[in-house]
Each structure stands twice: as structure tokens, then as C-alpha cells.
Amino acid sequence: MTRVAVLDDWQGVARQSADWSEVAAQADIVFFQEAFADEDAAVAALADFDILLSMRERMPMPRSLIVRLPKLAMVGITLKVNAALDVAACTERGVLVCHTDGYGGADHATAELALGLLISAARGIPTGDSNIRAGRFQHGIPTGIGLAGKTLGIVGLGRQGSRMARYAEALDMNVLAWSDNLTREKAAGEGAELVSKQELFERSDAISLHVVLSPRSRGIIGAEDIARMKPGAILVNTSRGPLVDEAALIEAVQAGHITAALDVFDHEPLPADHPLRSAPNTVLTPHLGYGVAETWASFYPQSAENALAFIAGSPIRVLNPDAAGNREQATHG
């Protein structure tokens, strides 16, 4: 019988977010709620599966893993781009990659969380909540800052960054923006002033990152950028952890130079002994950006449809159609 693995269901929402009954009638489905410790652990758990249904870029699936899964015939991804998956290796091995379409109307969710992190960091909301639950009140809570009249710097003025600019405008904040290809006209159209990267980090009271992770953008926020930030400024990251020099970030929050409001990290899940877990001047959430009910109600039903169509011999939403020919050659060659 075909075996289907639903990977990285960290919140335990996959089973109730879709009707899996038709797939279950034709395949053995296993839901994995924990991340694998390393590639060897992933191989040991997944070697007997034909279909892997992944969730965004949670699980790394490089060539070194793909070639060690002899039964693998299909990988399901959410949306059409997944930097964690080596699609070329899948194609060479005859493994079809099938994607989902859209966020189910929840495309604003990440920018909404960025706004929440900004306000939480500015007003010390997590510390206040912790105090109340521990029987305390205002004692020990740092004085917050008002955001009206302050300056928000946005790195990356795409869909999410543009939404963040509009949220900032609603808060009566001034907005600066920078990215490699940003034009003055585009920035002005979103209510922002185009400035250099150096000026953005020097002038902003808070900075929000909205950049896609790529070889070009990895480490785009370095130690020099963090050092330029105003004392007490807030750095919000809901994009990807490796955009920022993590060692420099940890040093800055431990020294009390800045506050970091983070939804993403270099390694996820964040290791239990990671210094950010005990660092001062931080607000941390476990990569919740896109993860709302509306997203799950789109991703998981489409993932189930993709698996069912593949089992039926008529795959849909195929990202790499050339893989089919390669699998036939491997099977009959």
C-alpha cells in the first residue's frame, strides 16, 4: 500500500484541517508533529514512504536526503517556491513535486504578526502578561514607547512590506524604506521615503524585515547595520532568520543596545539551549507568521488533493513535469 507522510505538523492541525478520508482509503497516512533531529533521523523515519507532504520550508530536503529515500515518488509543497527543497534532485530521481495555490485569503497574516510584534516590543506586552499571571502588576516592567511620530524603517517593500507601511501610516509613524531594487516612485506610492541602507538603520526607531531569503540576501543585516541602530530601537523579523547575523543580534540584545521581536530563527525549531531563549530585550514567537486557520484550510485540503491525484495516476499542480520521464527510465531502464 502507498504510504503518505504529512511532515512537520507542529501545531497538530493537519488532521482536522482537511478531509483525508479518500486518501486514507487508498494509502497509509502518518502525521509527524516533531521535527527530525538530523538527516539520518529523517531517513530512518521516511525510507518506506512514497509521498511526503511538506509544510512550507520547515524541513530541509536537500539532494543528500532525496537520494537516500528509495521509495520516494512524490513531494508535496505549499506554494510554488520552497527554498528548502532541491527540486532539481527530485527531477533527476523521477520524483514529482506538486504544489498548492494561494494562502486561502490569509496572505496578510505575516504582516499582521509583524505589526503585533512591533507593538508588543514597544509596550512590553509579554512582560506585562507574565507579571499578571505571576501575581505581580507593573513592577519591573520597562517603560514603553509610543509609536506615533516615530520612524519605521522597512527593508523590502514587496507585498508584506507594503502592508506594514500602511499599518505604520495608520499609527501616524513616518516610514523609510530600502532594498536593492526599490525605486523612489515605488516607495512614494506606498507612503515611504526611499533612503540608503545606512540611513535607514541610523534614523529608524524600529525596523521591520520583509525580504525573501536567497543566497544574495543571506546575512543582509550584518553587525555594522545593527551597530548603527539607535539605542533602544526595535528590530522585527518575520521573514527568515538567516537574513540577520545571529551572533551580532544576540550580542546587541544582551548588551541592551536594541530590542529584537522575532518570529523566525536560523534553526527551527529553536534549540532548547539557544541563547535567544533567555536573552533580555526580546519578544519571541515560534514562526507563526503565515500559520492561521485560513492558511491551513487552504494548504492541507490541496495537499490531500495532490496526494490523491498522484495515487490515482493523474497528478495535478505539478512543478516539474520532466520528472515523470526520468522515473519511467529508472523503472524500465
**What are the residue numbers of the active site?**
240, 268, 287
Please state at what angle helix 125-133 crosses helix 109-123, rounded to 10 degrees.
70
What is the Cα–Cα distance from 23 to 50, expressed in whole angstroms?
13
Question: Measured between alpha carbons, how far is residue 228 from residues 202, 208, 233, 256 in Å?
Answer: 5, 15, 10, 14
SS3 label, residue 250: helix
The burial of 153, by beta-carbon neighbours within 10 Å (0-12 exposed, 13-18 middle, 19 or more buried), is given as buried
The three cell numbers locating residue 308? 490523491
What is the Cα–Cα distance from 54 to 9, expressed in whole angstroms?
9
Q: What count of Cα atoms within 13 Å lies in the side-chain half-sphere of residue 1?
A: 10
What is the Cα–Cα distance from 321 to 94, expressed in whole angstroms?
9
